[in-house]
Structure 1
């Protein structure tokens, strides 16, 4: 079981610590525990409770009304609200609760409902990506364990693969080679990039996770892609980020290369003339628009 400070609850729920303390004293809303050294902390139950409270409060419920609800009444009201709400923050709250409870059916329903209402691309940009950012915060505070992270990542990955399979490239489309460097396993970003690229009629050669240099070299020589895209979240095992970017630029000099990730963005790296940095993977949309305009002009 995880433990949280009141500042953790503030970050995760968006409710100020001062307000949480007032609600705790006035309505007995939370039940803090104490360590052997008398330091106050909160547990998983408190976190789930305050996430539900935050969602209800954001939707106009007075705190006095919320405090009078049983846990089951609160959960039912939250489900009712998220089933009909189009507010992105509400949907992110709902997914967060599903993740903490590992409720796959509910998680799938929330995602599917949003895809139907606003489309797959907007669901990814406005709900999934903010949700994944929250996962990062939950990970930092110890609020989720590796099993929960894998559980959620695999559910999102499944949705992406289904969406990608539904896209058909055109004969006039360009060739994009997508991969992650050796040792890199977080592929949600390049899967989403693959979806965006294929949705515009281009062809994707997808190598996926942890691609060794020798395999990348072999595939490149075989398919001769117009564009290469990769994300560097962790440092490649045999190179510094700068060395790896230099290798990409030199070895694949005939292709336009796009790089992103924590090891690239804001790291003051030097890029060759055929390398462009993306701060966010969704910036590939701008490139796709430029390519589309070029094809139309021809």
Structure 2
């Protein structure tokens, strides 16, 4: 079982620590535990409670009313709310509850409902990406455990693969080769890029995670793509990124290379002429439109 400080609860729920302490005293909403050295902490049940409280409170329920509810009553109200047209923040909040409870069925329902109402692309850009950014920060600070992060990432990955398979290539367009460098496993952004590229009618060769450079060269020589795309989140590390950029630029000098990721954006790096950086996933849409404009001019 994970343990949380009141600051962790604040980060996850959006409720100020000061407000949580007032609710704790006035309504006995929380019962913090104490370590042997008398440090206050909260457990998974406390976190689930506060996440539900936050969602209800944001949607007009008075705290006095919430405090009088049984846990099952609270959950029923939350489920009703998440099936309505809530704000993006509310939907992200609902997904956070699913993650903490590791409730796959509920996560699937929330996600499917949003995709039906908003469309897949809109749901990814406005709900899933902000949600993944949020849990990324929480994972780094230790507020959630790796199992919870992997649980969610795999569910999103499954949705992306289904969406990509639903895009039928009809011929024409440009050739894109998408891959992750050797040792790199974070592929959500690359999968979404593959979806958007196929949606625009281009041909995608997707190699995915952990692609050795020799294998990449072999596929490149066979497939002869006009564009390569990759994301560098953890591998290669910051000391080796510049060398890697120079290497792929020279090796695939006839292709235009789109590169993004934590190790790329905002770093003090030199980019050769055939490499284009992408700060946000939304930029891939603008880039694809530029490609279409150039094609039409020709």
Q: What TM-score, normalized by structure 1, do the two folds share?
A: 0.96
1:33 is matched with which residue?
Answer: 33
Compare 273-282 and 139-148 and name the one that shifted more: 139-148
Q: Distance in 1 between matches of 2:183 and 2:237?
A: 7
1:61 is matched with which residue?
Answer: 61
Q: Distance in 2 between matches of 1:73 and 1:101?
A: 16
Q: What TM-score, normalized by structure 2, do the two folds share?
A: 0.96
Closer/same/farther in 2, CA of residues 30 and 269 from structure 1, 3 Å limit: same
Q: Distance in 1 between matches of 2:31 and 2:296?
A: 63
1:160 is matched with which residue?
Answer: 160
1:145 is displaced (CA, Å) by 2.6
Within a 5 Å distance, the mapping from 1:239-250 to structure 2 comes to 240-250=240-250
1:45 is matched with which residue?
Answer: 45
Q: Distance in 2 between matches of 1:69 and 1:85?
A: 24
Within a 5 Å distance, the mapping from 1:214-225 to structure 2 comes to 214-225=214-225
2:274 is matched with which residue?
Answer: 274
Compare 195-204 and 7-16 and name the one that shifted more: 7-16
1:154 is displaced (CA, Å) by 1.4
Q: Distance in 1 between matches of 2:255 and 2:166?
A: 27
Within a 5 Å distance, the mapping from 1:75-114 to structure 2 comes to 75-114=75-114
Q: Is the 8 A contact 2:238 2:263 kept in 1?
A: no
Q: Distance in 1 between matches of 2:57 and 2:238?
A: 50
Q: Deviations over 1:123-172 (max 9, x none)?
A: 00111111111211331243333322222111111110110011123422
Q: Secondary structure of 1:36's partner? A: coil
Q: Distance in 2 between matches of 1:237 and 1:136?
A: 18
1:134 is matched with which residue?
Answer: 134
Q: Is the 8 A contact 1:176 1:226 kept in 2?
A: yes
Q: Distance in 1 between matches of 2:27 and 2:143?
A: 25
Runs of at least 5 residues in structure 2 that lack an aligned partner in the other structure = none
1:208 is displaced (CA, Å) by 0.2
Q: Distance in 2 between matches of 1:252 and 1:108?
A: 40
Q: Is the 8 A contact 1:33 1:41 kept in 2?
A: yes
1:192 is matched with which residue?
Answer: 192
Q: Distance in 2 between matches of 1:114 and 1:186?
A: 24
How many residues matched?
A: 298
Q: Distance in 1 between matches of 2:48 and 2:141?
A: 15
Q: Distance in 1 between matches of 2:239 and 2:39?
A: 44
Q: Distance in 2 between matches of 1:141 and 1:274?
A: 37
- Runs of 4+ with >4 A deviation: none
Q: Is the 8 A contact 2:27 2:67 kept in 1?
A: yes
1:150 is matched with which residue?
Answer: 150
Measured on the aligned residues, the alpha-carbon RMSD in Å equals 1.5
Q: Deviations over 1:47-86 (max 9, x none)?
A: 1111111111111111111111111111000000001133
